[in-house]
Chains A and B, each alone.
Chain A
Amino acid sequence: MKLFFLTIMNGLTLAALYFLVASGFTLVFGLMRNVNLAHGSLYLLGAYIGFAVQELTGSWVLAAGAGFFSMAILGLLMQVCIFRHMEGQELRQTLVTIGISIILADFMLAVWGGETYQFELPDMLYGITRLPVIKIYTTYRLFILGTAVVIGLLLWFFLNRTQVGMKIRAGVADKDMLAATGVNVHRLFAIVFAIGAGLAGFAGVVGGSALSISPGEDLRYLLASLVVVIVGGMGSVGGAALGALLIGLAEQFGLAYSPTYGVVYTFIIMVLALAFRPQGFFGGKA
Chain B
Amino acid sequence: MTMQAIQPPGVANDRAIAVKYILLITFLLIYPWVASPFWIVQIGAQTLVLGIIALSLTFLAGYGGMVSFAQLSVAGCAGYMTAILGFNSANLGMGWHWGPAILAAIAIAVIFGTIIGILSVRTEGIYTIMITLAISVGFFYFVRQNYPIFNGWTGFSGLAPPVIAGLNLRDPIPFYYLCLVFAALAYFAVVYMGRSTFGLALQGIRDNDRRMRALGFNVIAHRIFAYSIAALIASLGGILMVWLNGRISSGTVGVGPTIDILIISVVGGLGHPIGAFIGSILFTLLENFAVDLVARERFNMLIGAVFLIIVLFSPDGILGLWQKVKEGLQKRTI
Contacts and interface: CB of A to CB of B under 8 A. Distances in A.
Contact of A263 (B130, B135, B141): B141
Contacts of B141: 263-264
B301 A99 contact: no
A96 interface: yes
A110 interface: yes
B137 interface: yes
Chain B's interface: helix, strand, loop or mixed, by majority? helix
Contact of B123 (A35, A260, A286): A286
B169 interface: no
A37 B262 CA distance: 14
B126 A35 contact: yes
Interface in A53-107: 82, 89-92, 94-96, 98-100, 102-103, 105-107
A91 B300 contact: no
Given A91-B1, A94-B126, A226-B130, A102 B138 contact: no
A230 B255 CA distance: 19
A217 to B, nearest CB: 13
A102 B259 contact: yes
B122 A278 contact: yes
B213 interface: no
Interface in B235-277: 255, 259, 262, 266
Nearest to B315: A92
Q: Determine the interface band of chain B, counting residues with CB < 8 A from chain A.
A: 35 or more
A223 interface: yes
Interface in A101-121: 102-103, 105-107, 109-110
B138 A99 contact: no
A267 B136 CA distance: 11
Contacts of B312: 82, 96
B142 interface: yes
Interface in A249-286: 260-261, 263-264, 266-267, 270-271, 274-275, 278-279, 286
Given A91-B1, A278-B123, A106 B137 contact: no
B303 interface: yes
A106 B308 contact: no
A95 B311 contact: yes
A84 B162 CA distance: 54
A102 B119 contact: no
A9 interface: no
Contact of B301 (A92, A94, A107): A107
A106 B126 contact: no
Nearest to A267: B138
A6 interface: no
Nearest to A90: B126
Nearest to B260: A102
B119 to A, nearest CB: 6
Interface in B120-135: 122-127, 129-131, 133-135
B134 A230 contact: yes
Given A223-B137, A263-B142, A110 B127 contact: no
B210 interface: no
Given A89-B1, A90-B126, A102 B300 contact: yes
B226 interface: no
B298 A110 contact: yes
Given A223-B137, A263-B138, A106 B129 contact: no
Given A106-B298, A110-B297, A226 B134 contact: yes
A270 B300 contact: no
Contact of A102 (B127, B131, B135, B303): B303
27 contacts: A35-B129, A35-B130, A90-B126, A91-B1, A91-B126, A95-B1, A95-B311, A96-B311, A99-B304, A99-B307, A102-B301, A103-B304, A106-B300, A110-B298, A110-B301, A226-B133, A230-B127, A230-B131, A230-B134, A260-B146, A263-B141, A264-B142, A267-B135, A267-B138, A270-B138, A278-B122, A278-B123
Closest A-B pairs by Cβ, 4 of them:
A102-B304, A99-B308, A103-B304, A106-B300
Given A270-B134, A274-B122, 5 more contacts: A98-B262, A99-B305, A226-B130, A230-B130, A261-B142
